[in-house]
A and B are shown apart, each in its own frame.
Chain A
C-alpha cells in the first residue's frame, strides 16, 4: 500500500470513558444520594483506530449509543479522549488551536447554530466575522453555496419560519462558508423527509467533488451511507466492527443470499429449497445460505416452471442489524 501523504484524520486506540452517577429509585435512595453518590464508568469508545485520507467521504455507522457522536466530538476537539492518539490535519483536536478550528466544521442534525429570530443571511454574516473570512472569499463561498443548495428564497426569511429541511440547508451553508478542509456531519439527515435527505446527500457529494473536503458522516440511516460513502466504518458498543468498502461489508457479513423467483402462483411448496420469506402473487422470496446458492438456483431452474429468477444480497439494513446483533468481528 503506497503511502502518499499524511492522513487527514488519524486515530489510534482511541478511548473515551464517561463517569456517571447512578442511583436506585425511590425517595430513600434520593435522600441517600444527597450525601453519597455512587459513580459508574461507562465506556463510550473502547479503543478504535483508523486513518482517513484527504478528500475521502467516510460513513460512520452504528446504532444509537454506539460511540459515533463521541468519536466525532473527540475529532472536533469538543471532548478529551480518555486514552489513545488522535490527530486531525496534524493538530491535536482537544488543544483547540485557532488554526485548527478554522479548518474544520461541525454540523449536528436537529441542533441549530443559526440565530432563531433573524434571517439566515444575518447569521452567515456573524460567521463571517468569527471566521474572519475576507469579503471576496465570503461572497464567492456564499454564491456557490446558494447555488448548490438552492438557498435564494430562504436567505431573507427568519430561521424560525423555515421548515426543518430548509433550516438544515441553511445550517449546512453556515457551516461551510469558511471552506473548511474537514467536515464533520453528525446525523445531518435525521428527521428530514426523503426528498430533502436526497437533496442533502447529493449536495455533500457535490461539495466533496468540488472542493476536495474530507467528510466524516455519522448516521444510522443506511441510505445516507449507501449514497455517499465508498468507505464505511461500523462501530458498536464503542468498538470498531468493520472498516472498508461497503461492498466488502456485504460480502463479509452475509451468511445468506436472497433468491427471488416468479411463478404462476404460490401453490408450489418451496420449503425444500430454502427458507420462505414471503410469497405474493407467485413472486416468492427465499433465503438461502450463501454456500448453497448455486445448488439451489440450479434445482429451482430444473424443477420449476420459472418465469423469472434473481439472486440478491439481503437488504443492507438487515445485514447491519445482524452485525449489531451478533457483533461478528
Chain B
C-alpha cells in the first residue's frame, strides 16, 4: 500500500510516516501542494492523506482540482479545521473521510484501513471485523474460519454493516441496499432480518454484535472483552 502524505509540519509528518510504516504502509511525504501535484502524476498511490492549510495553497482547492481529473484515489483529509461545516465541505469536495487533529496513531490507521476497504479501492474483497469474515465476490460468510450459511438478504445486510464497521449505518441506507424497487417492504422487514442475522452470528459464537441505535439505524462492532 503506497500512501501520499501532504503535511507541512515536519515533526508531525515524520511521526505519521513512522506510524504508517509500522502499520504496513509505504509513505511519501511532501510539504507543498506543488510537489504533491507532480508526485501524483508519476506514482499510482492507493491513498492520499491531505492537510488543508499548506504554505502554497488551500488543500481543499487542490482536492477540487484533483477530483475534476476524475481520479479514483481515496483521499483522507487530516486537518486542524474541526467545524462540522468544514467536514461537510470536505466530504462534498471529494474527500472520503475527514480526521481532525489531534488524533492517535491507532485511529489514523483504522481510518486508512476503513477507506481502503470501501468499494473502488483495490484492497482484497474479504471484509472482516472480529472473527467474522465475508468474501464480497463468493458471498461466503465465515466465523472464526468456519463457513456458515446465510440467506442473500442477511449476507447483503452483513456486508453493508461490515463495510462501515464501528459506525452507525442509517436505516434508509440499509433499506435501499437490501430491497429492490419491486420488493414489498413491510415496516418490520429490516428488524426481522437484523434479528435473524444476530441469532445466526451468536449461534456461530461470533465476537461481533449488531447494535440497534433507535431512531437512526444499526451498528456492527466487536464485542468488547468481558
Whether both chains belong to one complex is answered with no
Q: Which residues of B contact A (CB under 8 A)?
A: none
